[in-house]
Structure 1
Amino acid sequence: MAVCAVDGTTLRADVDADGHLDEILHQKGEGAGSVVFRGGDHRTTVSVADARGFWQKLRGALKEDMATRGAFGDFDGDGYLDLALFNSQHDAGDSPRDTMLVHEVRYGPLARDLTSHRTGSIRMGSPAFVFGVWVTDTDHDGHAELQVLQSSGDGVAVRHVGRQRGGGISMSDEETDTYAGADWPDAELGRIDFPACAAR
């Protein structure tokens, strides 16, 4: 079943491939959404923050100011929705920290705890804080691009673009856009790059 946008922050797709359409809520650029799995009369809600595994959560418990970000898209073009997941540490003032405990892609179909039998690394040029993530398909080839807004220090954030390569996602070293202060890309971060769901 195709992925579609219900509105500006909600997607609809069969995340776990059980034949029932699920909803991905609050899927804005900061990447702090959740999935409502539907199966008959049953509803199960799992947040992106809950998607981290036991050891990932344990490692993060020893750090302060950690934040989890995630974005859903079909990165490998197989028709299933994948999850790009990050867990990184907020900057200390204007100085970036280099703690990124999670940077992985989980290939769909996803289980109801957002785990997967097939994962890959998201290859990053820097372990700095990830402000936000979102998904596009600018060339309409059926392979989603991962957009990552990441700290570069001094209150500045840069955007990198990632694409599926060799069992994972490779982020570009090139800084596609640079944002500071009033230039913050709120409108771009709120965009959902999926077609609208048909009216029922």
Structure 2
Amino acid sequence: MSRGVFSSLPRPRTRRRRLTAALGGSLAVIAGGTWLLLGTGPRPGDHAPMAICAVDGFTLRADVDADGHLDEINEGTSSVVFQGDDQRTAVRVDDARGFWQKLRGASKEDMATRGAFGDFDGDGYLDLAIFYSQRDEGDSTRDNMVVHEVHYGPLARDVSSDRTGTIRIRSSSFVSEVRAVDTNHDGRAELEVFQSGGDGSISRHIGRQDRGGVSVSREGTDDFAPYREPDALGYGACADR
């Protein structure tokens, strides 16, 4: 038999090739399972934006998930109560952290999530600014900020979004509080970030929509978050709507 005939026959698999093929198949199964686990979550609706109003200095009403029902946002507890046709669902901003983000912070102590709801890009839907950072150790700061991003609305019922942007911030120290306030009533909320400066100090920084995300100013003022009066969030009072 000629050499050409032998070369056309299928070669027997070596142990290495069989192992490589099996490993590739396993990785495909794992990737498919991960996609099913992470990529098929709840989705927002397509209702047009509804008016956002303030109940008091900590509470907003808005259609967060664009289903045509006004939901209630409590900035004090960083939570949303979704109003459906026949049910109410309460969700905290912790749920907005993705699988890998939760995994990255799992081995760290004293991690905390902070979030603020506001319309940063001015499209009429509420967005969520979220931070996940590590608390100070005594008077010493810990520079460990796993999450600093914006989820642009409309949001899903786990307050996640397919459209996200980075919060550009110089320091990675602990963020103790964040607030979204439309101070100049132009339809775009500013982000107030209260961040540890070490030795027990807190600095207040301002962030604004910029290049598909929010840019936080480097300059800060030593300022604790003051008590908020009704309508302090910059939206009209719900009683007036």
TM-score relative to the length of structure 1: 0.90
Structure in which a larger fraction of residues adopt strand = 1
Partner of 2:18: none
Please state whether the residue corresponding to 1:186 is helix, strand or coil: coil
Residue pairs, 1:81-160, within 5 angstroms = 81-160=126-205
CA contact (8 A) 1:100 1:129 kept: yes
**Quick check: 1:185 aligned with 2:234?**
no
1:2 CA displacement? 1.5
What are the ranges of 5 or more consecutive residues in structure 2 without an aligned counterpart?
1-49
- Sequence identity, in percent? 65
1:143 CA displacement? 0.9
| CA distance in structure 2 between the aligned counterparts of 1:95 and 1:69, rounded to whole angstroms | 20
| CA distance in structure 1 between the aligned counterparts of 2:229 and 2:133, rounded to whole angstroms | 18
User: Number of matched residues?
Assistant: 191
Please state whether the residue corresponding to 2:158 is helix, strand or coil: coil
Partner of 1:61: 106
1:61 CA displacement? 1.0
1:187 CA displacement? 1.5
2:209 alignment partner, one of 164, 175, 178: 164
Structure in which a larger fraction of residues adopt helix = 2
Partner of 1:196: 237
Please state whether the residue corresponding to 1:170 is helix, strand or coil: strand
Partner of 1:7: 56
1:23 alignment partner, one of 72, 77, 82: 72
1:163 CA displacement? 0.4
Residue pairs, 1:13-52, within 5 angstroms = 13-25=62-74, 27-28=75-76, 32-52=77-97
| Aligned CA-pair RMSD | 1.7
| CA distance in structure 2 between the aligned counterparts of 1:92 and 1:104, rounded to whole angstroms | 24
TM-score relative to the length of structure 2: 0.75
1:23 CA displacement? 0.6
Structure showing greater radius of gyration is 2
CA contact (8 A) 1:134 1:189 kept: no
Q: Deviations over 1:10-38 (max 9, x none)?
A: 2100000110000112x13xxx4211111
| CA distance in structure 2 between the aligned counterparts of 1:37 and 1:170, rounded to whole angstroms | 29
| CA distance in structure 2 between the aligned counterparts of 1:165 and 1:84, rounded to whole angstroms | 14
What are the ranges of 5 or more consecutive residues in structure 1 without an aligned counterpart?
none
